[in-house]
């Protein structure tokens, strides 16, 4: 089995050793990083017939690309309910080419062009969500902060306190070199909390009275713009890993990422006790005051379509989904398994992972679902949509009203293209 996550190696190797003792089937775990090198490795090995039996993939994207290319097995009809129901309900269809995903694959330029509607090209392995804030406990203590902020306004106030205490290293880092991160990880959950589900979805619609350029859209952008004085200098030039590394090195007091960021921070030298993790808080007067962040499948397991050992490979994939195996893997990897771990999960995972899992708990009304893109223009490029936010914050080149109009114009162009 191959993985592109170095943090997954120890947990997978421990599981493989147990699996070998129980079944006599030997599994060798190999890691190739970073992601780009892994992708090239998979593609080149597919051409030469050297792929492993099972390999980890980015869920609901990369798996479709490999499915369209005929590299991975279509698992449709092969996963009984007794297996599939182990997964978190939110991701039980992960890896499946739904109607939305099928439509996105139709353009000849799509990387998943050729994916078959209804096919299932991977099973969920790890889950997570965006909009997780990591804080340096020592810097919080120095600024007199003793608990996570309960509202967006308190978060802004805490940023101000840490920046006042440490002007160069008290702010917020985020890898804005990838322009979509500010929009995906902060802007969208903030909009959902500010406007509620319908209002948030309308931001991407065709009605000018409710889109990003409307008064409601500008209000969301104004709340986002409150971050402007507190960004770490140069954060717009940092990759996601660079921003996380900067936080780990004490160059910022806060870092925004996903549940998956915790493992990176620990690999970078931070101890779990150094970190306070919490979900992005909602505005005090927003439509959703108790914001929950819905989980999505982050990585999945794909089965090599040309594997001569498909039965053994499926047994290994199923073994990894067993709750006790998944719990041990999660703890070793500091990552959240797609398997539901039950009421004892907090005891098994420790406080930070348990706090991250707590961000998932919500109702359909108060849960932001980053996976649902059905209301947006189908070919919208989120990096292109994220660029105007960077020009506003941190670069101060535009204000919220101008940014809203730029987003309106951009989204209109995508809707026209979709006709």
Amino acid 107: pLDDT: 85
Mean pLDDT is lowest, of 26-35, 238-247, 333-342, 377-386, for: 333-342
Domain ranges of the chain: 2-127+295-341, 130-292+369-418
The predicted model scores a pTM of 0.83
Mean pLDDT is lowest, of 67-71, 179-183, 354-358, for: 354-358
Amino acid 60: pLDDT: 92
Amino acid 190: pLDDT: 98
For the stretch 220-256, what's the b/e string if a residue is b when 16 or more beta carbons lie within 10 angstroms of its beta carbon? bbbbbbbbeebbbeebbebebeebbbbbbeebbbbbb
What integer is the mean pLDDT of 306-330?
Answer: 95
Please give the structure tokens belonging to residue 267. Answer: 């690999």
Mean pLDDT is lowest, of 120-134, 286-300, 356-370, for: 356-370
What integer is the mean pLDDT of 26-55?
Answer: 94
| pLDDT beyond 70 at 298 | yes
Q: What pLDDT, in 10s, does the model give residues 155-177?
A: 999 999 999 999 999 999 999 99
In this chain, the answer to whether the domains covering 2-127+295-341 and 130-292+369-418 adopt an identical fold is yes
What is the chain's mean pLDDT, rounded? 94
| pLDDT beyond 80 at 346 | no
Amino acid 344: pLDDT: 64
| pLDDT beyond 90 at 153 | yes
Amino acid 374: pLDDT: 85
Taking a C-beta distance cutoff of 8 angstroms, is the pair 366, 292 a contact? yes
Domain at 130-292+369-418, CATH class? alpha beta
Amino acid 227: pLDDT: 98
User: Which residues pair with residue 130 across a beta bridge?
Assistant: 258
| pLDDT beyond 70 at 191 | yes
| pLDDT beyond 90 at 257 | yes
Give me the sheet containing 30-31, strands edge to edge.
Answer: 30-31, 2-3, 54-58, 296-303, 123-128, 336-337
- Protein fold of 2-127+295-341: D-Maltodextrin-Binding Protein; domain 2 (3.40.190)
CA distance 105 to 65: 9
């Amino acid at each position: 089995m191959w993985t592109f996550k170095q943090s997954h190696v120890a947990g997978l190797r421990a599981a493989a050793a147990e699996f070998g003792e129980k079944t006599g089937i030997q599994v060798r775990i190999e890691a190739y990083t970073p992601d780009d090198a892994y992708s090239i490795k998979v593609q080149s090995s597919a051409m030469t017939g050297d792929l492993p039996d099972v390999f980890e993939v980015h869920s609901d994207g990369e798996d479709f690309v490999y499915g369209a290319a005929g590299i991975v097995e279509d698992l449709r009809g092969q996963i009984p309910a007794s297996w599939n129901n182990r997964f978190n309900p939110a991701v039980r269809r992960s890896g499946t080419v739904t109607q939305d995903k099928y439509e996105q694959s139709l353009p000849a330029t799509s990387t998943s062009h050729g994916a078959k509607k209804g096919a299932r090209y991977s099973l969920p392995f790890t889950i997570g969500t965006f909009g997780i804030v990591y804080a340096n406990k020592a810097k919080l203590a120095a600024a007199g902060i003793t608990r996570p902020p309960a509202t967006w306004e308190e978060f802004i106030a805490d940023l101000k306190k840490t920046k006042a205490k440490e002007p160069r290293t008290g702010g917020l880092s985020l890898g804005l070199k990838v322009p979509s991160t500010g929009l995906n990880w902060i802007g969208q959950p903030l909009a959902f909390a500010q406007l509620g589900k319908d209002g948030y979805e309308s931001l991407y619609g065709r009605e000018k009275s409710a889109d990003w350029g409307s008064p409601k859209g500008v209000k969301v952008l104004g709340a986002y713009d409150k971050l402007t004085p507190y960004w770490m200098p140069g954060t717009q030039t940092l990759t996601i890993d660079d921003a996380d590394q900067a936080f780990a090195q004490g160059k910022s007091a806060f870092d925004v990422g996903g549940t998956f960021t915790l493992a990176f921070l620990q690999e970078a030298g931070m101890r779990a006790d150094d970190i306070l993790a919490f979900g992005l808080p909602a505005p005090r007067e927003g439509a959703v005051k108790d914001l929950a962040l819905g989980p999505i499948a982050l990585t999945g397991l794909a089965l090599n379509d040309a594997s001569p050992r498909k039965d053994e490979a499926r047994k290994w994939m199923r073994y990894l989904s067993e709750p006790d195996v998944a719990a041990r893997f999660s703890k070793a990897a500091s990552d959240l398994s797609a398997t539901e771990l039950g009421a004892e999960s907090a005891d098994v995972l420790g406080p930070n992972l348990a706090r991250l899992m707590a961000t998932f708990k919500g109702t359909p009304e108060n849960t932001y679902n980053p996976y649902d893109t059905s209301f947006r223009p189908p070919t919208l490029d989120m990096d292109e949509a994220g660029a105007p936010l960077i020009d506003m914050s941190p670069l101060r080149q535009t204000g919220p009203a101008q940014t809203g109009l730029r987003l309106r114009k951009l989204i209109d162009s995508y809707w026209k293209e979709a006709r």
